[in-house]
Amino acid sequence: MLGTGSAEEFIDDAEHHNQWWSDGTSPELSEATDLIPRSDFHRVLKTTNAHYTDGVESLVYAIHGQTGIGKTTLLHQLVAALLNTTNFPHQNTDLELTSAIEPRQILYIPLEDSLYQLERAGDDIKRLNQVIDYFQTHVAPRQGQKFILLDDVQALDLNEDQKAELLDLVDENTYVFLTGIVESQVDLSTTESADTVEEFELWPILPMKFIDTVQIGAGLGVDFDDEFRTRLEQYQSSDLDGPSPIKTIRTGLSRRDSETRLDTAVEALSELCFDIFGADDRDNLHDAARAYLRTGGTLHQTDNPSIRNELSKSHFLLFLYKELAKYRSIQQPENLHRLSSIAATNAGEELQYTDLSDQIGVDRRTVDNYLDVLDEGIAVTESQDYSLRRYRRTRLYLRNPRHLVLLSQRQEHHGFEGYEQQDTLNHEFEYKLARTVAFDHAKRLAYTVGAYDVEYTETESGLIDYILHRNGDVLPFILSYHPHTGNAETIAEDFDPGSGQHTESDSEDLRDLDYQAPYRFIITDSLPKEVREDESLVIEKDEISICYLPFWLFLLIC
């Protein structure tokens, strides 16, 4: 009979992957400590520490993201930060959890590397149960918190019953961290055994946004010193000493408490741009935003551009053809690739669903299924028409700008193959990248301010690229980026917020909303002379308040 291994062999494999039980560290941890962590790491560590200090005994922290996005690195860095036997130079020393955990309190299992997926259905959980039981009874001390990290949980292909069985494996005083490719694979909070766990956390890992890339300070070709990056961290957090204008702006844009908060946010935008940032800061951030379009917000362990591109493309195609196709039982995964390439070629242009069906060679329902799974994988996201109830057309955006480069034709992305600024000028493709990056950041801003989604609408004068709204509060953004600068102010004046049509969540009935857009925002790579001279981002046009946002500033606040 074909077999993959006995319980003893799986336990031996676990000991191999948890070398710190005997040595206090491992080659994987040593490699992870050399890498600058993403903001996601700090978020996971700080949130876990908050639960730990609050006395939470059981926690499930679910993390999801694409192949190659950095999930495994995050887990290794988390282990290094927790262990009292390693020196992790990038951690917050004021957190109670850091450098406080004995090596034998931590179990890490890379489920794909350990061949659990080769076990018969049901036997994989049985093997995992045996390994966890061995850890709890023979490795971990009787007292103290235990940390179990399960990497690539999609290898188990869990149904709801198996998710409940997985939770049953975990006793009290245990924190479990799961990684997978999509939310539904790692979210255990809806299982029958969920009431046995005190707290659940769910976190997606996306390509690094602009402000995180600036704070890491690598790959943008701009010299941001430690003092500037510290200030930038302070500007986002009210927990640190000093002003926090970015926090003020994000809170004001949400308009959760009062109408005046939006005015406060706009005032803070001008203050941040002209008073807090000096001329050199603005120039550096402008250059960094253009460089960000090239880097794609991804950290690499090599400086070779061709190797970076091969890794990025290979990871993305592996994600499409293997992970997403398996997850949704897609019989023709090449169609996921084709739709991603269509998104790259059109880069936010309006597309008819009938044209997509014809080009792919499948019906509308199948196209919708493909787009749903691409959205779940945070690979390609749709933007729908703000003024339509039934959607006949869409705009597709890749969420990683590097994928836009790699899936475009050579003659289109010429000059953007490398990660460094080149002499070749390609303004048209830079605009496509800027449009894609701005959409991705608008999606993040929508999450922050509690907006339903990021939509678009056509006016008689042109396009409102990104519309955020919540309960009738509307934030419209027009992208005016060279060479497509056009008549942005006229578009802003023509926009009618009352054209929005949004249905109840559980029916086709329209919601009774009073749509209001006190400000219209123009995202630009070149501020008008009037704005620069007055040092105010707001101008009034026929009783319409227009707020100009430098491209870098928009990315910074998202």
pTM recorded for the entire structure = 0.94
Q: What is the pLDDT of residue 259?
A: 63
Note the pLDDT tens digit of each residue in 291-349: 999 888 777 777 888 898 999 999 999 999 999 999 999 999 999 999 999 999 999 99
C-alpha torsion angle, residues 248, 254, 257, 258 (rounded to 10)? 90
Q: What is the pLDDT of residue 437?
A: 98
CA 261/CA 239 separation, integer angstroms:
20
Query: Which tokens hold the place of 36?
Result: 């600058």
> Which residue carries 């006995």 as its tokens?
6
Average pLDDT for 355-365:
96
Note the pLDDT tens digit of each residue in 379-388: 999 999 999 8
Note the pLDDT tens digit of each residue in 28-46: 999 988 888 888 999 999 9
CA 218/CA 224 separation, integer angstroms:
9
Say if residues 172 and 55 touch (Cβ distance below 8 Å): no
Residue 506 has pLDDT above 80, yes or no: no
Q: Which of 327, 324, 328 is nearest to 340 (CA)?
A: 324
**Top-level class of domain 7-204:** alpha beta
339 Cβ contact partners less than 8 Å away, ≥ 6 residues apart? 356, 360, 367, 370, 371, 374, 380, 396
Specify the DSSP class assigned to residue 497. Answer: G
CA 135/CA 151 separation, integer angstroms:
16
CA 353/CA 362 separation, integer angstroms:
11
The full 3-state SS of 249-295, as one line of letters, equals HHHHHHCCCCCHHHHHHHHHHHHHHHHHCCHHHHHHHHHHHHHHHHH
Say if residues 14 and 149 touch (Cβ distance below 8 Å): no
Query: Which tokens hold the place of 65?
Result: 């993201």
Q: What is the pLDDT of residue 1?
A: 39
Across all residues in the chain, what is the average pLDDT? 92
- Where do the structural domains in the chain lie, given as residue ranges? 7-204, 210-295, 305-557
Note the pLDDT tens digit of each residue in 179-198: 999 999 999 999 988 999 99
Specify the DSSP class assigned to residue 209. Answer: P
Residue 256 has pLDDT above 80, yes or no: no
Residue 469 has pLDDT above 80, yes or no: yes
3-state class (DSSP) for residue 524: strand
